Amino acid sequence: MSALLQKYLTIVQKFIPQSQTKSFVGLDLGTNSCKLVELVRKGEKYQLTNFAVEPILNGNAKETVKKVWGKVSEAGRSPATAVSGKGTLIRFITMPRMNLAELKSSFALEADKYLPFPQDQIYMDCYILDSKGKENKMSVLIAASKKELVDSRVKALNELGLHPELITLNSIAVANALSALGVKSETSAAAGGKEEKSSAVAILDLGGEVSSLTILIDNLPLFTRDIFIGGQEITKNISRAMGLSIEDAEKLKYEPGDKLTEILNASDSILADLISEVRLSFDYFVTEKNIPVLLLLFTGGGSMLGGVMDVLAKQLEVKVMRWDPIELLDLGPGISKEAIASQGSKLTVALGLALSQS
What is the homologous superfamily of the domain 1-181+324-358 according to CATH? ATPase, nucleotide binding domain (3.30.420.40)
Task: List helix spans (H) across 140-245.
Answer: 147-158, 170-181, 184-190, 231-242
Give mean pLDDT, residues 109-136. Answer: 84
Contact criterion met (CB below 8 Å) for 209 and 230: yes
pLDDT at 355 (0 to 100): 92
pLDDT at 133 (0 to 100): 66
Q: What are phi and psi of 343, to 5 degrees?
A: -120, -15
Burial (Cβ within 10 Å: 0-12, 13-18, ≥19) of residue 93: middle
pTM of the model: 0.86
| Residue 318 predicted with pLDDT over 60 | yes
Spatial distance between the Cα atoms of 263 and 201, rounded to a whole number of angstroms: 29
pLDDT tens digits for range 58-98: 889 999 999 999 988 876 678 999 999 899 999 998 889 99
pLDDT at 131 (0 to 100): 66
Task: In the chain, count H helices and then E strands.
Answer: 12, 14
Burial (Cβ within 10 Å: 0-12, 13-18, ≥19) of residue 123: buried
For the chain, what are the domain ranges? 1-181+324-358, 184-322
> Do the two domains 1-181+324-358 and 184-322 of this chain adopt the same fold?
yes
pLDDT tens digits for range 177-231: 988 887 645 444 544 544 445 579 999 999 888 899 999 988 888 999 999 998 8
Spatial distance between the Cα atoms of 11 and 142, rounded to a whole number of angstroms: 9
pLDDT at 4 (0 to 100): 39
Q: Given this structure, which CATH class describes domain 184-322?
A: alpha beta
Confidence of residue 6 (pLDDT cuts 50, 70, 90): very low
| Alpha carbon of residue 324 to chain centroid | 12
Greatest Cα-to-Cα distance within the chain, rounded to the nearest angstrom: 61
Spatial distance between the Cα atoms of 224 and 216, rounded to a whole number of angstroms: 9
| Residue 20 predicted with pLDDT over 90 | no
